[in-house]
Amino acid sequence: MSHKSTIKRITAPDIAARKGTEPIVVLTSYHAQTAALVDPHVDILMVGDSLGMVIHGMETTVPVPLDLMITHAQAVVRGSERALVVVDMPFGSYEESPTVAFRSAARIMKETGCGAVKLEGGVQMAETIAYLTARGIPVMGHIGMTPQAVNQLGGFAARGRRRVEWTRFEQDARAVAEAGAFSMVIEAVAEALAARITQDVPIPTIGIGASPECDGQVLVLEDMLGLAPRVPKFVKEYAELRTAVEGAVKAYARDVRARAFPAKEHTYSTLEEVPEALKKFNITAE
């Protein structure tokens, strides 16, 4: 007998239909527990390749392997039931050709049960986006500052702060939309550029450091919870969990050292009387 939830998951077409209506709420999620907490409050759970930096201590997202994305995405799908789960295609898993991209995306979809994939790049990725979307894979684009290109860009600085750069990003946005993406992330670009792109394309734009002009917003969960040691300018910390975690860990260490934890209420008793003599091992030397 099936124990399927009666809650219907949000789909990629549902998100596409939200263009110009109420703002789309997106947060990253990398594990089942946080997915369960976040799921009722967001439209999209994004399994971003930022997990390489946030969870695994990598310097950039470039080394993130496809298998790692799949493992985390499986946890997020298991932990959630309502939000659309979108999984990042990591660097090296899609750029070579549309067929390579299809194989990687198909693995992600089949092995995780997610609802869509995301990939970085504009004009140069349009053919790949069209190939995937024509074969049943909903794709979210990602333009502006594209972290997987950090080695070529020379850093994570905001883009489009000078008007001479705009045409390129506008062409990227148009190409992604025309290729059939259901939405696109715009990362770290000037507000005026984000506004122009959002007005220009028929699909929802999801901003991260791209101003309130976008159709939706995404943040890295650990950043907005105040767990990260440093955050970019565009992050608002809605909690200060660093201090809370440190305080809890210090108190635990103090309690263990003082034998104050575990207390009676954390300890199992036997279900019958145990004679005093049996309570301790009396190891006697021969």
Alpha helices for 113-183 (secondary structure H): 126-133, 150-153, 166-178
Q: What CA–CA distance (Å, rounded) separates 148 from 150?
A: 6
| List of residues 6+ apart from 161 with CB closer than 8 A | 189, 190
Name which of 5 and 235 has its Cβ closer to ligand KIV. 235
Q: What CA–CA distance (Å, rounded) separates 34 from 253?
A: 25
Instruction: Indicate which residue of 81, 165, 178, 187 is catalytic.
Output: 187
Q: How far is the CB of 171 from ligand KIV (least distance, A)?
A: 21
Q: Which is nearest to 214 in space by CA: 238, 181, 189, 178?
A: 189
Q: What CA–CA distance (Å, rounded) separates 181 from 171?
A: 14
Q: How far is the CB of 47 from ligand KIV (least distance, A)?
A: 8
Q: How far is the CB of 246 from ligand KIV (least distance, A)?
A: 25
Q: What CA–CA distance (Å, rounded) separates 237 from 246?
A: 17
Q: How far is the CB of 183 from ligand KIV (least distance, A)?
A: 11
87 forms beta bridges with 47, 117
Q: How far is the CB of 263 from ligand KIV (least distance, A)?
A: 40
Geometric angle at alpha carbon 11, from 35 and 71, rounded to 5°: 40
Name which of 11 and 60 has its Cβ closer to ligand KIV. 60
Which structure tokens are listed for 275?
């004679």
Phi and psi of 240, rounded to 5°?
-125, 65
Q: How far is the CB of 118 from ligand KIV (least distance, A)?
A: 7
Name which of 128 and 205 has its Cβ closer to ligand KIV. 205
Q: Report residue 43 CA to chain centroid gap.
A: 13
Name which of 69 and 190 has its Cβ closer to ligand KIV. 69
Please give the residue whose beta carbon sits closest to ligand KIV in the complex: 48
Name which of 10 and 44 has its Cβ closer to ligand KIV. 44
Q: Given the structure tokens 């794709």, which residue do they identify?
A: 139
Name the site residues for ligand KIV (rule: CB under 6 A). Answer: 28, 46, 48-50, 88, 185, 208, 218, 220
Residue 81 bears catalytic tag: no
Name which of 99 and 151 has its Cβ closer to ligand KIV. 151
Which structure tokens are listed for 214?
């976008």
| List of residues 6+ apart from 236 with CB closer than 8 A | 219, 224
Q: What CA–CA distance (Å, rounded) separates 205 from 122?
A: 14
Are the C-beta atoms of 147 and 187 separated by less than 8 Å?
Answer: yes
Q: Which residues are catalytic?
A: 187
